[in-house]
Amino acid sequence: MKEVTMQPVSLPGSSPLKSPATQGAGSTGFSEILSRSIAEVNGQSQEADLLVKGLAAGEHANIHETMIAMEKSGISFRMMTRVQQKVIDAYREVMRMQL
C-alpha cells in the first residue's frame, strides 16, 4: 500500500509556516500576522467597493471582474470571522485549564 504524505498548503499572501527551531530573531509575531491579514481583507473590501462604484457610475463595464472581487472580499471576510471565533474559543479553553 502506498504511503500518503500530507504537504502544507499556503494561502495567497501568506508566508510558509516554519517550526520554532527554524525561526530566527527576525520572525514575525502573531499580532503582526493578524494585523497584516486584517489589512489584506480590508484592502480586498476597498477594491471591491471601488469596482462597484465604477460599474455603477459607468466608468467601466467589466461586471465579471467586479463580481469576482466582491466574492473574494466576502470569502476573505467570512474566513477572517471564522478564524476570530477559533482564536476566541482557544483562549476560552486555555482559561478553563487548571494549573
What are the strands, taking DSSP E only, across 4-50? none
**Is the pTM value of this prediction over 0.75?**
no
The answer to whether the beta carbons of residues 47 and 69 sit under 8 Å apart is yes
**Number of C-alpha atoms within 13 angstroms, CB side, residue 49?**
6
What digits encode the pLDDT tens for the residues 23-56?
A: 555 567 888 988 999 999 999 999 999 999 999 9
Residue 4 has pLDDT above 50, yes or no: no
